[in-house]
Structure 1
């Protein structure tokens, strides 16, 4: 049989079942142990044999079985990541940062997410599915999943929570200080002379992080001797609708939103009303990264160190997996004010 015929035969065989190292050994004319040594990078194999083995593996479409490797080494070199909603910039940027950090240390990531808000029951099932895949560790980034739902898994696999403070035993967390961010933004508006400030407060059950920053804004305004106007919303996506029903007659000069996306929705609402920021109202957001952070848009916001959160979460998890530490840690990262142009000093006649 000529080479073309042999190639067609190999392709037909590959379609029938997944190729194994036995198939590679037969194709390359070497022993099974030689294939194992060459593909794992462990042990001595001649350069000529390694070339034949690698060529055979490529032609057969061989893919190493991570789970089988894990049974031998007790590790799969795979990390499970649970993300709440990848359509939101925070989770998308976080995923990129974690992927990059994991690859640099020789690990791969299996991500479970949703094209919308991942409900608690769905997030819990996804967590179980990741554990069943025998991942070496888990990063959980879902502001909606309560701590008590995570705790039962800590004895089965190392876990890091990314994006919010976590105080439960056995769980490391990496997060931006939301209280600090809320305080910084409120101080900025107070320094600009705003006396009547509205805060959109998101329900705690929807997002612990958004709720925490809203509570901090309210507390800071009160501490300055002012009375904040609190508009409660089921989520940041409901902010503009709530504001539309409350704005007339409220007497506020500034509106503090829980996220940048909510702030953009509010800016569009003002445009439809024939108003603008900062001329009619100061508007602030929260997040400060991605397309909504561009100088062209010029949002006044608080920037979370999302790339640092992602990178640090992976590094701490892998250190735990590799036995470099067995201590739980709370890593509180600081963000920074982005002054932007949607908030300005209050004019004397306001």
Structure 2
């Protein structure tokens, strides 16, 4: 007699034996895994909100980071991956435009007072094909940064292209000029850099050299402090400041380090007839040991005993003025 097929397992419960599925429902009992996030569920409101935000971001990126606001103007925002700088202030922006510094966008505050500088800024930008965007002042404040004084105008420029000191020296000698360079050792305040660039331009210097590490670069704040001089006076980058100074010495330049405890007074130097590199240290630490050992002379600026020291920007300005004065006197003889 054949065995009768079994329809299913029999399990007991308080209510008596019942038939099971024989394992046919096991797959259904395994579940569908963890519940997806709300924004990953196509028909959830959070997913629709995320999709709208992604589309808006893509459109803003395609337009260079600009989007229209409800007031009919344009709001600008800085992309996190964008290394561009924002130059602020009417003088700085105007000088940058006059020097034909590459620029991608000009921002003008709504209802700005149109003085001669603003008119020239707008006219120059328009002739060069630079987009001019009108923004509200709070947005311009945010774009320029907390400490910047934008005066209603800001210019977006690409990352600064640093020069090489040897290239600047070649151009200086080819033009028949006597080199006057300034090198910064450990100066980290962008306002000091801006002030030194401005003084270098004012007294006939050709470049300011900054180390690649542990030093300030040409930021928007430095642009602002230079009052536009950064558009005319190149900034050079040194991978190793000590080696750069040694290379300039081999080419005949006199390396002059500034320090309050220097062995020689600035008044006692005779530097009218030769190329000079003025090395300025940080106000707190002064010149580093290796740079100090590389200098041909360590010079001090005579000051009142009531004053402890001069900051880097002022010390460089005084020295530049003294050298420029002596060169003018030598030329007049």
* TM-score normalised to structure 2 length: 0.28
| Greater fraction helix | 1
* TM-score normalised to structure 1 length: 0.27
